[in-house]
Amino acid sequence: MTDTQAHREQVHERVLSWYAAHGRDLPWRRPEATPWGIYVSEIMAQQTPIARILGPWLTWLKRWPNPAALAADPPAEAIRAWDRLGYPRRALNLHAAATAMVRDHDGEVPADLDQLRALPGVGEYTAAAVGSFAFGIPAPVVDTNVRRVLARIALGEAQAAPSLTKAERDLAAAWMPADPDDANRWNVASMELGALVCTARTPGCGVCPVADLCVWRVAGSPAYDGPRRPHQGYAGTDREVRGAIMAIVREADAAVPAAAFTDVAAADRIERAVAGLVADGLLRLSEQGYDLPR
DNA sequence: AATACGTGGTC
DNA sequence: TGACCAAGTAT
């Protein structure tokens, strides 16, 4: 068994069948989901477990059912609603993207890869995901799940390299089914397989539909020997201080004086974090103190 | 290419 | 218990 066209087609068939039977019924996957709903789900899902975004997604879509609704409110509301989802710049980006959709795209999510990619907070992955899931554009969707699935099934490696390489993009493109509908299904299905079965920690090879077609599995699941991802600490970093400051400002009814931050960390760290947040547009300095952008 | 960017759960 | 991980993006 090697990485031949016939091998790929067999994998496609099995994974698509598996997905039809075992894929999760996520709200943004339902037929009634709008491109905007799918767009919001993709931004929320960036570096964030799906289980954590379910509630926030429902609340967000009810409050802002389309781009115009969000654009009509100030960014502060988006940042507050984002609450503790993490990386609050995503909330700011979502608001800015909604504004751009109203201004440049008749209030709609653009059905074009380049136009999607031009939106703030939309990179290669998100453009492809929204293109494929919302508009049926069969672009390769290469997220952390797909990268791991392909690393194992096609390359026989336990995990993907620390960062996305051109070789991986080419591999993902080569693995796309020729039929556009199948290609779009493969995008979700291979992601889902990575999320539910072919997981990072303890892969469920015992229930995997392609265990016997997986180069890694057949080779005896050898341990990863490539470069490790650099460790991303949190305690003691500026990110921690930024997070604490944003939490204070989010929960305040009015602008807060800098003195409200003094318990968060040492003065120099607070100063650096606040400067960064202001530079990022997440915080605004008025005469009354710091508050969220309006 | 490497690094910054939140937050919470898991083993 | 601390490192690892989670549908990445921007610089």
Q: Point out the residues of A that are catalytic.
A: 42
CATH number of A11-18+22-135: 3.10.310.30, 3.40.50.620, 1.10.340.30, 1.10.10.10? 1.10.340.30
Buried/exposed code over A121-139 (b: 16+ C-beta within 10 A; e: otherwise): bbeebbbbbbbbbbbebbb
Residue A126 has pLDDT above 60, yes or no: yes
A141-180+189-218 under CATH 1.10.1670.10, yes or no? yes
State the pLDDT at residue A141.
Answer: 98
* Contact by Cβ (8 Å): A215, A156: yes
**Nearest-CA residue relative to C1' of B5:** A87
- For chain A, the domains span 11-18+22-135, 141-180+189-218, 238-291
How many Å does it take to go from CA A148 to C1' B1? 21
Residue A89 has pLDDT above 90, yes or no: yes
| Domain spanning A238-291, CATH class | mainly alpha
* Contact by Cβ (8 Å): A74, A294: yes
**Chain C bases under 7 Å from protein CB?**
3-10
pLDDT band at residue A228 under the 50/70/90 scheme: confident
Residue A3 has pLDDT above 90, yes or no: no
Helix axes A50-63, A35-45, angle to 10 degrees: 140
Cross-strand partners of A289: A286
